[in-house]
């Protein structure tokens, strides 16, 4: 039903534009681009409305529960429409901040994503943070029959190395670096200005003030919420 409404809206808009536009060489391409843009804009709106009315809880989802039925609808949306765009990295990196904000993530200015973010509405990212090429952010713990969502928080000026994997419930403090291809295990808390590497990622060393830049204290504070502000630190089932 949602898809029919969304498709119908995009079709009507495109037909309306088609009726107004005179014939010219790139008319077909323009109309196709209009249809795809309108379709996805309406789809993202429907998706956000769905999650606003039927929010997925933080923590484990019980089999047969109402939350599991909400999850099933959510995952269908995701797998059919968003996964095919996000996972092969169709969206150019400069637009990824907008993409993940549209999908519900909170992302500060000058932060960009070279790899996919799953369950974006469980992800908070500060200012000036880079998720490296093909790194993966995964806020859901799907392990056999167990399924749960745990927020991921990346602070300001964080670098997630190329190909790294950030698992559910991970917190990465300001100015920290996760090494290329490292796997940060569920619930890991990386402090400020630290470098972690390996699988599972372990503390390698503290960054020096020189490495982080001398003027950090003078930089504008992040506009992103502090860790867990969005979800409540006392939420049951959160990894600690
Ligand atoms: C983690 C990192 C910051 C460490 O840099 P560094 O402090 O200069 O560290 P070094 O290269 O001197 O290595 C120190 C040790 O860590 C190990 N190491 C470094 N990077 C590692 C990684 N990604 N995974 C596992 N071990 C790593 C080194 O082998 C070395 O081990 P040793 O002391 O036993 O010999 C860097 O290697 C890295 O991975 N940067 C990510 C860059 C990136 O991907 N950016 C995004 C681009 S899109």
Mean predicted confidence (pLDDT) in 157-170: 98
> Options 3.90.15.10, 2.160.10.10, 1.10.3720.10, 2.70.98.40; which CATH number does 105-240 get?
2.160.10.10
The pLDDT of residue 237 is above 50: no
- CB 136 near ligand 1, within 6 Å: no
In this predicted structure, what is the pLDDT of residue 223? Answer: 65
pLDDT at 27: 81
Q: pLDDT band at 236, cuts 50/70/90?
A: very low
Return the SS3 of 140.
strand
How many angstroms separate the alpha carbon of residue 213 from the centre of ligand 1? 19
Residue ID of nearest Cα to ligand 1 atom 39: 179
pTM of the model: 0.88
Q: Is the C-beta atom of 159 inside 6 A of ligand 1?
A: yes
Q: How far apart are CA 182 and CA 160, in angstroms?
A: 9
Quick check: CB of 155 below 6 Å from ligand 1?
no
Probe residue for ligand 1, chosen from 132, 134, 166, 179 as the CB with the greatest number of ligand atoms within 8 Å:
179
- pLDDT tens-digit profile of 97-120? 999 999 999 999 999 999 999 999
Average pLDDT, the chain: 89
CA angle 80, 81, 85 (to 5 degrees): 115
pLDDT of residue 62: 94
- For ligand 1, atom 28: residue with the closest CA: 197
What's the gap in Å between 203 CA and the centre of ligand 1? 11
Least confident stretch, 87-91, 120-124, 219-223: 219-223
Name the residue ranges covered by the structural domains of the chain.
Answer: 105-240
């Amino acid at each position: 039903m949602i898809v029919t409404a969304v498709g119908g809206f995009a079709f009507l808009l495109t037909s309306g534009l088609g009726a107004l536009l005179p014939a010219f060489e790139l008319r077909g391409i323009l109309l196709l681009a209009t249809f795809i843009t309108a379709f996805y804009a309406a789809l993202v709106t429907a998706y956000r409305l769905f999650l606003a009315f039927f929010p997925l809880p933080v923590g484990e989802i019980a089999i047969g529960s109402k939350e599991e039925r909400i999850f099933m609808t959510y995952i269908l949306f995701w797998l059919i429409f968003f996964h095919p765009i996000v996972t092969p990295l169709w969206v150019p990196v400069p637009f990824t901040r907008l993409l993940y904000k549209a999908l519900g993530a909170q992302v500060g200015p000058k932060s960009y994503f070279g790899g996919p973010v799953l369950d974006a509405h469980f992800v908070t990212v500060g200012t000036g943070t880079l998720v490296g090429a093909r790194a993966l952010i995964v806020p859901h713990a799907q392990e056999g029959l167990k399924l749960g969502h745990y927020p991921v928080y990346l602070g300001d000026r964080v670098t997630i190395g190329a190909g790294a994997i950030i698992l559910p419930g991970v917190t990465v403090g300001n100015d920290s670096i996760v090494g290329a291809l490292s796997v940060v295990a569920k619930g890991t808390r990386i402090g400020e200005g630290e470098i972690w590497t390996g699988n599972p990622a372990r503390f390698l060393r503290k960054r020096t003030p020189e490495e982080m830049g001398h003027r950090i204290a003078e930089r504008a504070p992040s506009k992103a919420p502090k860790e867990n502000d969005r979800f409540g630190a006392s939420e049951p089932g959160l990894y600690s």
